[in-house]
Amino acid sequence: MPSRSFDIIFADPPYDFTLQQLEQMITESFKNGLVAIEGVFILEHSKHTDVSGFDRFSESRRYGGSVFSFFQ
């Protein structure tokens, strides 16, 4: 377990990350305790990338060509 966890984690990886890379980043953040128990992981990604099937997905909000997806 990490020495510290966070209520909010915002990630803005390169848009050319694969779905596998994105899912691993989110999964590892929760698995390793970086996201607090009641915390949220927010992922910024392209509108062409669908992450709605990932574990812990709760909702997405679109802003132009970018999407913010929330995981809890």
Q: Note the pLDDT tens digit of each residue in 37-63.
A: 999 999 999 999 999 999 999 999 999
> Strand 66-71 vs strand 35-46: parallel, antiparallel, or unpaired?
antiparallel
Please check whether residue 66 is in contact with residue 45, taking contact to mean a CB–CB distance below 8 angstroms.
yes
Range of the domain at 33: 6-71
Q: Does residue 25 sit within a domain?
A: yes
Q: Does residue 63 sit within a domain?
A: yes
Residue 65 sits in a domain whose CATH number is: 3.40.50.150
Domain count, the chain: 1
pTM summary value: 0.93
Both tokens assigned to 49: 């990338």
Q: Is the pLDDT of residue 6 over 70?
A: yes
**pLDDT computed for residue 2 by the predictor:** 64
